[in-house]
């Protein structure tokens, strides 16, 4: 199980070389809250990427939950909840 990703948690994107990797905040669109913060389900991220390796067993608004350590096409989710672990 991995830490649940929420609004303001960060991810790293390396999809736009030669620019250095970007560390950006997640911006979820959810009615589900984790630690009183909106939870992150799969959706396009500000850099244009979409998480590709996510939970197979936990869903947020019908979309797989995103967790710290989940992979993007060119990066990874860096941070999540310290006390809510979800997924397989």
Residue 86 inside a domain? The answer is no
Under the banding of pLDDT at 50, 70 and 90, the label for residue 35 is very high
Q: Which pLDDT value is given to residue 84?
A: 97
* Residue with tokens 């997640």, as numbered in its chain: 26
pLDDT top residue among 41 and 34: 34
CATH at residue 11: 2.60.200.60
At 38-83, the pLDDT tens digits run 998 888 777 777 788 889 999 988 988 999 999 888 788 899 999 9
Do 79 and 24 form a contact (C-beta atoms < 8 A)? no
Residue 87 inside a domain? The answer is no
Neighbours of 24 (CB within 10 A): 16
Under the banding of pLDDT at 50, 70 and 90, the label for residue 26 is confident
Domain assignment of residue 14, given as a range: 1-81
User: How many Å apart are CA 47 and CA 37, to the nearest integer?
Assistant: 22
Total domains, the chain: 1
User: Residue 64's closest CA among 32, 35, 19, 36?
Assistant: 32
């Amino acid at each position: 199980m991995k830490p649940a990703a929420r609004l303001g948690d960060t991810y790293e994107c390396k999809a736009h070389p030669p620019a250095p990797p970007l560390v950006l905040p997640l911006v979820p669109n959810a009615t589900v809250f984790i630690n009183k913060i909106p939870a992150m389900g799969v959706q396009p991220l500000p850099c244009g990427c979409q998480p590709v390796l996510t939970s197979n067993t936990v869903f947020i608004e019908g979309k797989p939950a995103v967790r710290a350590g989940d992979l993007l096409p060119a990066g990874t989710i860096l941070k999540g909840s310290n006390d809510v672990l979800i997924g397989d």
